[in-house]
Structure 1
């Protein structure tokens, strides 16, 4: 059976919140980047991790923390579902099989159906796949949905995709240093989108 991604499908597969019809698609890496997976054992022995600056030391995190990036997204999702009560979701929540619709196409359709979409890029995130999906979304939706999209990256993150989003697509870019600051900036962004919808400056979906 062919699956069609619609607002109704997404809403039906999510739990109830105050603003059920305000869909907020949270994109970001599900796995943390870890240099223990990249360097050989001999190369790792030559590095005194304790002597590295904090941001670099974090790249040698314990392998048990590899899912820290997804845990961050889940915490942010929970905060936003509670306050302001929007229907924040990850692609995993909609549970569409990639055999039916590939991951990039899913992301494009989730963003198209959503009132707002955020690309969250933490320093520890394994961001390569996210960059590809973000680029596809921007290619397809920046012109029509640009006011509903935001990139929020941790201060230490630099990326050609972030630069392109700013220069080529004139997308809103924000930085954060703490998780609390990330949540606060997303809340302000969501409040702005909701306000513009109420004023008729953005169409209600």
Structure 2
């Protein structure tokens, strides 16, 4: 179940958000101060934080910075009052995902905002899981040895793997490990999640 933390000192807003989001099948926690919000975020690990810009003990921007310092991936939706759009834009620049304006006259917009943010969170986590799974499947290839020549070769492979070039020419006598070097280049590069295909050019034609 998706977990949403609401940080807002207005009881009416807490009640409204809690009711609307609970109707959508979300688990809701509400607190009324920045300090309590930071503690709740650490304890509950919410999927989304709905954060008011005006709190009794801190500004919403301060709480946003503290939340994202603890977790740079934390999804935060800012709640603003009339005339605070400039501050909401600043919050977006600092990493907030979206903002909502009080009063909440359009509850469908509120639901859509939270749903969209949760979908983004889910998509990001799914991508991270896929990348981790793919990384586990990568073959363990290494250039073994500690001679000056081998160390220089490892350094060259590491340096070139970060290049945006898509073609490398590897020279050497037969049996010197050109395919191993090519594999290392591939699996250290940003293209590591794609298949490494070995083609025998001598057999073509």
TM-score by length of 1: 0.48
Please identify the structure whose Cα radius of gyration is greater: 2
Bigger relative contact order, structure 1 or 2 (CA pairs below 8 A, ≥6 apart)? 1
TM-score under structure 2 normalisation?
0.48
